[in-house]
Amino acid sequence: MKAAAFASTTIAAVAAFFASTAHADVDPIVIKGSKFFYKTNGTEFFIKGVAYQQDFSGNGTSGSNDYSDPLADPDGCKRDVPVLQELQTNTVRVYAINPEQDHSQCMQMLQDAGIYVIADLSQPGLSINRDSPTWNDQIYARYASVVDSLQNYTNVLGFFAGNEVSNNASNTDASAFVKAAVRDMKAYIKQNNYRQIGVGYATNDDASIRTDLADYFNCGSPEESIDFWGYNIYSWCGDSSYQQSGYADRTQEFSNYSVPAFFAEYGCNTPSPRKFTEVGALYGSEMTPVWSGGIVYMYFQEANDYGLVSIDGNSVSKLDDFTALSSQIAKVTPTGVNAASYTPTNTKAQNCPASGTAWQAATALPPTPNKELCSCMFESLSCVAKSSVSDETVGKTFGYICGQSQSACDGITANGTSGVYGAYSMCNATEQLSWAANAYYKESKQNPSACDFNGVAHTQSPTSAQGACSSLLSQAGTAGTGTVTSVPTGTGAGAASGTKSGSTGTSTHTGAASMMNVPVLNLGMLQLGAYVLGAALTGAGMLLL
């Protein structure tokens, strides 16, 4: 822990603070061109933010589902909101919330303090994995449920559909899956008649791909591209400068970007304690025409030594970094434009990067996850996978099936580089393995032994597709390689059904997309893409099951 100038905030002081604070709705933040504005008065909005989540790490990999939702902790919010206000904080970024928990108290406290929220849609165990990316119905339901749970709070500024997923030249294909998530969450918000809330992406600062990344997420149709761009950048360390840090170069690169761009994380912590001299540049005249502010990483002191404060129960101790940031923030008054007099000139989207050695993401995106389609498909099969199967066995089964018959796996192939996706590539693990097993079973003339795979699968009586199911399966085609144009009709399956209260009223949603229950294989870190993509090369050497 760093040396600290300790100052404690007591529960009594916090209670007095909130007792004297009037409740009032905040003005929603809207986007016009490459800038944020307060909706009502048109004043330009510059983010003065702090990352606010304890004990969390989840950059582009899937892992444990164990995390603590900071917006579902009223005691923590009572303790921390006054401290955040001392830093003139107007935005917090949270990396994972639990959509089944109540956020009304924390969101009200933040609203009363004039603080907006940018929320990442993923959680550690349900995110797009950079090493073997997929955009499936389970992740879709997770993302949609977060939108459902937060959309009715007027102080929600926007959502991140991914954070540092493609972080070097070896995994840029994963960006196709994240961009599909951006597309589908934008469509989901519109489909449900929610107010306009932006969906963006937060990137790391890798020199080999930074330009291609920014171009890729901004190119193409408005329905597919980001609403804002978040930059996690740690290049200003200690007594640096606008030129030396690379800030001048980054500002020039984004001078014609067509959507708002801001620092989604900043605050290099070497040397320590931090001086935060970059604050003056970020909110100064050279950067504010291009950048909409930034979010300091981070509020809580943890093992990585990025904290502004240390927490002991209900007590907050301000560290040297807090004092330095507070001093620098107090010096800045960013000057912007008014929405009424602002006419965007940088309205042209970027050109999509050509796929080559440094960039491997196709402009063709994965299909929209459709739980109804996947459930209809599963019910129509004669041979289906069991749910209680080990990761290793699942891998061997996929390897064998796809190696013996590539056509059996065409319907579940998802290749972000070639832009080739099967209609069922977005289904969950059980459904995908069932599709492949059934295709192999049919090719084997439905020999009973061909639907076993050492106990991995079994036969069932298929359901004849009727009505909507018939239409969906017809679009997917008998080989599973067709294009399904029908969109999901349900809300986020992971959302808690019922009424969620917020500053703008109440909203009731039922997870219609979960109307059919299909057992799901517990693959943990395992993703199916690696098996399907590599099976044709390895099938001859796989263990015959």
* Crossing angle of helices 429-443 and 391-404, rounded to 10°: 40
Here the tokens at position 142 are 């997770």
Burial of 376 (0-12, 13-18, 19+ CB in 10 A): buried
Q: How far apart are CA 234 and CA 268, in angstroms?
A: 5
Residue that the structure tokens 């100052």 belong to: 7
Residue that the structure tokens 């978040």 belong to: 230
Residue 532 phi, psi dihedral angles, 5° rounding? -70, -40
Residue 538 phi, psi dihedral angles, 5° rounding? -110, -5
Q: How far apart are CA 81 and CA 115, in angstroms?
A: 9
212 residue type, one letter: D
Residue that the structure tokens 């330095």 belong to: 324
164 catalytic per annotation: yes
Of 310, 335, 330, nearest in space to 88 by CA:
330
Q: How far apart are CA 535 and CA 405, in angstroms?
A: 9
379 catalytic per annotation: no
User: What is the number of other CB atoms lying within 10 angstroms of the CB of residue 335?
Assistant: 11
Residues 525, 307, 310, CA angle at the centre, nearest 5°? 110
Here the tokens at position 156 are 């929600």
User: What is the number of other CB atoms lying within 10 angstroms of the CB of residue 108?
Assistant: 19
Q: How far apart are CA 493 and CA 401, in angstroms?
A: 31
Query: Which one is catalytic: 164, 278, 372, 379?
Result: 164
Please report, for residues 38, 422, 523, the alpha-carbon distance to residue 41 in angstroms, rounded to integers and kept in the order given.
6, 48, 50
Half-sphere exposure of 390 (CA within 13 A, CB side): 4
Query: Which one is catalytic: 265, 278, 372, 431?
Result: 265
Beta bridge partner(s), residue 231:
203, 263
Q: How far apart are CA 535 and CA 545, in angstroms?
A: 15
CB 477 within 8 A of CB 360: no
Here the tokens at position 76 are 């923590």
Q: How far apart are CA 126 and CA 98, in angstroms?
A: 12
Here the tokens at position 415 are 């290749």
Of 519, 431, 415, 507, nearest in space to 99 by CA:
507
Beta bridge partner(s), residue 533:
none
3-state secondary structure (DSSP) of residue 305: coil
Q: How far apart are CA 399 and CA 538, in angstroms?
A: 7
164 residue type, one letter: E
User: What is the number of other CB atoms lying within 10 angstroms of the CB of residue 421?
Assistant: 25
Cis amide bond preceding 298, omega within 30: yes
Catalytic positions = 164, 265
